[in-house]
């Protein structure tokens, strides 16, 4: 599925999404530590929230690889410096 910033990339649901805290992901991904996650209520997939527009920037999961991250927010085009700087190595 294509990320449009409004639908879950796993199940294509348009919500609801709720804000969640995931301590493991905060420790693992610096861009999650400094950002916000929203979870799809339908399937449980977690997405990083764009700090500019509030759209769903990208899906975040334990096996995340660098190629899965978009170059910018699919809604507003904002480039998250933490996402851009991530080198694909999950452990900090």
Q: What is the pLDDT of residues 10-69, one digit of tens each?
A: 999 998 999 999 999 999 898 999 899 999 999 999 999 999 999 999 999 999 998 999
Name the residue range of residue 62's domain.
Answer: 17-81
Please give the average per-residue pLDDT across 85-90, as a whole number: 79
Alpha-carbon separation of residue 81 from 43, 75, 85 (angstroms): 28, 16, 6
pLDDT at position 5 is 87
Query: What is the pLDDT confidence band of residue 2, given thresholds at 50, 70 and 90?
Result: low
Which helix (H) or strand (E) segment holds residue 37: the answer is strand 37-40
> Which comes out higher in pLDDT, residue 82 or 2?
82
Backbone torsions φ then ψ of 32, nearest 5 degrees: -80, -35
Residue 89, in any domain of the structure: no
Residue 61, in any domain of the structure: yes
CB 24 within 8 A of CB 38: no
pLDDT at position 34 is 86
Residue 11, in any domain of the structure: no
Compute how many other C-beta atoms are within 10 angstroms of the C-beta atom of residue 69: 20
Residue 44, in any domain of the structure: yes
Residue 90, in any domain of the structure: no
Residue 2, in any domain of the structure: no
């Amino acid at each position: 599925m294509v990320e449009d910033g409004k639908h879950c990339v796993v199940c294509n649901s348009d919500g609801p999404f709720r804000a969640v805290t995931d301590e493991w992901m905060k420790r693992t991904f610096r861009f999650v530590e400094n950002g916000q996650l929203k979870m799809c209520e339908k399937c449980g997939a977690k997405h990083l929230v764009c700090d500019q527009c509030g759209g769903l920037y990208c899906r975040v999961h334990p096996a995340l690889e660098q190629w899965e991250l978009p170059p910018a927010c699919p809604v507003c085009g904002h480039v998250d410096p933490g996402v851009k700087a991530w080198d694909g190595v999950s452990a900090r």
